[in-house]
Structure 1
Amino acid sequence: MMRTPHVVVVMGVAGTGKTTIGPLLAARLGVPYAEGDDFHPQANIDKMSAGTPLGDADRWPWLDAIGAWAHERAGLGGVVSCSALKRSYRDRLRAAAPGVVFVHLAGDRKLIEDRMTHRQGHFMPTALLDSQFATLQPLQADEAGVAVDVSGSPEEITERAAEALSVLPDVPQ
């Protein structure tokens, strides 16, 4: 497995399985897990519940809270879920916690929409999926991280993520 306890940000559009894969990956790596949605202020949850996409101004405090958690976990390791759709969002997380690495859960829009329609108790409506895909900027070559296909079972996805992370070079903390 990884030589240095990284803080891993499990990212992707809504419905890719961040909340499912995050805890499984944390267990596999033997580190704590934090649910990114828990860092949202109530105003953000209310907006999304009403079908209104968040703007950058809504996201900055949320990203700063996740970045602070990641910073506290530097050198100890951890996994946190966070959509981190734009490069600027990931840059903000890296500014707070330079050693973070990203696992981009990526997949076919039809598969993701199908999963979203079958999940229960989540505030993100399927109607916002188009805005999520429109916002998404996949990881770039200079960003520490891996893209992992979301087809298959949660266990298969988690195993692919762990294997991909195991070959990443160490990132300075």
Structure 2
Amino acid sequence: MRLNEVASDRPKPVRFCLVRIDDRLLHGQVVVNWVRTLRPRRIAIVDDDLAADCTAVSVLEAACPADLALWVGTVAEAATALVEQSPVPPANTMILLRSPAQARALYDAGVHYEALNLGCLGAGAGRRRVHRQVSLSPDEMEALQYLASVGVVVSIQALPSHRAISLATVL
């Protein structure tokens, strides 16, 4: 070990094109802005409930640009499908999640991503607005703080043209 290196028992993170929480999942803002800017080859939507809903998956398949592969699956399937046996390199995969709880579950399942983007998390009862389009419940704040504590860089950025804001500055 070199003098300036720090020993760590943390797993080495995987660099994905983008890992994003947005309660709307795949929608116009993602397709028009993020996909055009980052040019992923695959979009992966990790959502246990959605993966069990064939009709909703069909709607997402219709919304996904034809030149992109779409994978929809559960947290339990994600480590194998996105890292271990992925036909598309992680750097060419954009992961979309609906909630901070799913982001933590994905990390805990072995998909150790290095950065997490917060898009839109709507307002509601028991939620505190922390930024224009981001409102969080206490449980969501705890999940995001956990991810930050294990080294995930958590930021808020609605569009690629916007400046990323560290979650730590708004909590």
Q: Which has the higher helix share?
A: 1
With the shorter chain as reference, the TM-score category is: 0.3 to 0.5
Q: Which has the higher strand share?
A: 2
TM-score after normalising by structure 2: 0.46
TM-score after normalising by structure 1: 0.46
Structure of greater Rg: 2
